[in-house]
Amino acid sequence: MNAMKNTIRVSVAVIVFILTSAMYSRKSRRVIFFGDSITEAAVKPGGYITRLGEALAKKGMTDQFELIGSGIGGNKIYDLYLRLEDDILARNPDIVYIYIGVNDVWHKQSSGTGTDADKFEKFYVAILKKLQSRNVRVILCTPAVIGERTDCTNQQDGDMNKYCQIIRNLAASYRSDLVDLRKSFLEYGRKNNPENKESGILTTDRVHLNDQGNQLVADEMLTVLLK
C-alpha cells in the first residue's frame, strides 16, 4: 500500500512538473500578423510590427507577447488560405491579425487577377473558422486605402468600401475583434490632406505605408491587442 501511495505521489509530482515547465517555457502570447507586402515590410525598422513591439517595450510588456510577421508580397485571401496550415497553425499562435484585401481589389484593375467579393468572403470565412476551431483569438483588419484622395475619386474606392464592409460583417458575425484601418485612414485623410493628394499622407505610393502610416497602424493594432 505504501509503495502504491509513493508511486501515486511521484506520478502527481511528475505531472505537476511537466505542466509547470510547459507554462513557464512559454509565458508570452504568440501573435502572428498574416498578410501581404504591407505586413512583409512591417518587420523592418519603422514598420508597424516593429513599432508595436517598441510600444509594448515602453509599457514594460515585452515579455508578454511574441510578435511574428507572416506577410508575402502580392498575397490575396486565397494565398492566405493555402499557407494557413504551414505558416500559421504550425506555429501554434495565440493571436492572429488578418490584414488582407488590398490585392484582392487592386489586382482586379491592375492585372485582372483580383478576387470576386463572394469568393473573398468564402475564403475569409474558411480561414476564420479554422483559426477559431484552434481557440486562436482572431483580429480582423480592414484594408486601408488604394489612393488617398479624400473626395471619393480614387478609382477603387467603391470596391474598397464593399470589401471592408464584408470584413466588418464577419467580425460581428464571428465575434472577432476588428481594427478598422479603412475608417481610421479616411478620418486621418479628411483632417490632414487638405490638398487632396493621391499619396504621401499615410502611404508612399497610394498603398504601402510611410512612417506616419506605420505609426497609425501600430497604434490601432496595439489598442485592440490590449483590450
Q: How far apart are CA 202 and CA 149, in angstroms?
A: 11
Percentage of the chain surpassing pLDDT 90? Answer: 85
pLDDT bracket for residue 9 (50, 70, 90): low
Phi-psi region of 101 (alpha: psi -120 to 50; beta: other; left: phi over 0): left
In the sheet with 29-35, reading across from the earlier edge strand, the strands are: 65-71, 29-35, 95-99, 137-141, 177-179
Q: Which residue has the higher pLDDT, 38 or 23?
A: 38
Q: Could you give the domains of the chain?
A: 27-225 (3.40.50.1110)
Q: Is the pLDDT of residue 10 over 70?
A: no
Residue 178 has a CB neighbour count (10 Å cut-off) of 16
- Mean pLDDT (the chain) is 91
> Mind giving me the DSSP string for 28-57?
SEEEEEEESHHHHGGGSTTSHHHHHHHHHH
Q: Give the single-character DSSP code of 176.
A: -
Q: Going by DSSP bridges, is the β-strand pair 65-71/137-141 parallel, antiparallel, or unpaired?
A: unpaired
**Residue carrying C-alpha cell 497602424:** 217
Q: Give me the mean pLDDT over the 83-99 stretch.
A: 98
Per-residue cell: 113: 487577377
Q: Give me the mean pLDDT over the 121-126 stretch.
A: 98
